[in-house]
Amino acid sequence: MSKTEKIDENKRDFLYLAAAGMGVVGVGSAVWPLVDSMNPAADVLALASTEVDLSSVEIGQSIKVVWRGKPVFIRRRTKEEITEANSVEVETLRDKQSDTDRVQNPEWLIMVGVCTHLGCIPLGNKPAEVKGEYNGWFCPCHGSHYDTSGRIRKGPAPKNLEVPEYKFVTDTQVIIG
């Protein structure tokens, strides 16, 4: 190029911008499938919530449903169980939660039925099963005892039985998740 020729800076800027734009599009098209693969699959999203009809559950009865591959215990508590759960001094508990923090409606206790020690399924949902020393649930694997609110009272479990997110649609319909 001779000194007399003038460099067209507009053309050069356009080429830089076009190359940068193509680079952004290229990186975006390579990265998008990776980011999209991190989204949950359709079968997982279908399990994200479970609707349960509670109309057939009698007072003092428990049922077990499956949510996200885990058992969920739903218990329609008696007045005695509610009174017993509320009479516990929270300061004496290992995982300090009052009964009112664990339930939306005192009559219904909804919690994930997996022991917080090593993941066993506690006994106590069926009438013939061992309920432990606190009339709640008993983990047969390592001897954790839970009370009528699903709070750890004795044994190696570090935390209370987990309470999943749930909401009552009607008095007898609940959506878990």
Beta strands in the chain (DSSP E): 50-53, 62-67, 70-76, 108-112, 135-138, 145-147, 152-154, 166-168, 173-176
Catalytic residue among 96, 142, 159, 167: 142
CB 62 within 8 A of CB 74: yes
CA-CA distances (angstroms) from residue 142 to 54, 115, 154, 169? 32, 10, 11, 37
Reply yes or no on whether 142 is catalytic: yes
Q: How far apart are CA 128 and CA 96, in angstroms?
A: 29
Q: How far apart are CA 10 and CA 129, in angstroms?
A: 83
Q: Which residues contact 4 (CB under 8 A, 6 or more apart)?
A: none
Catalogue the active-site residues: 142
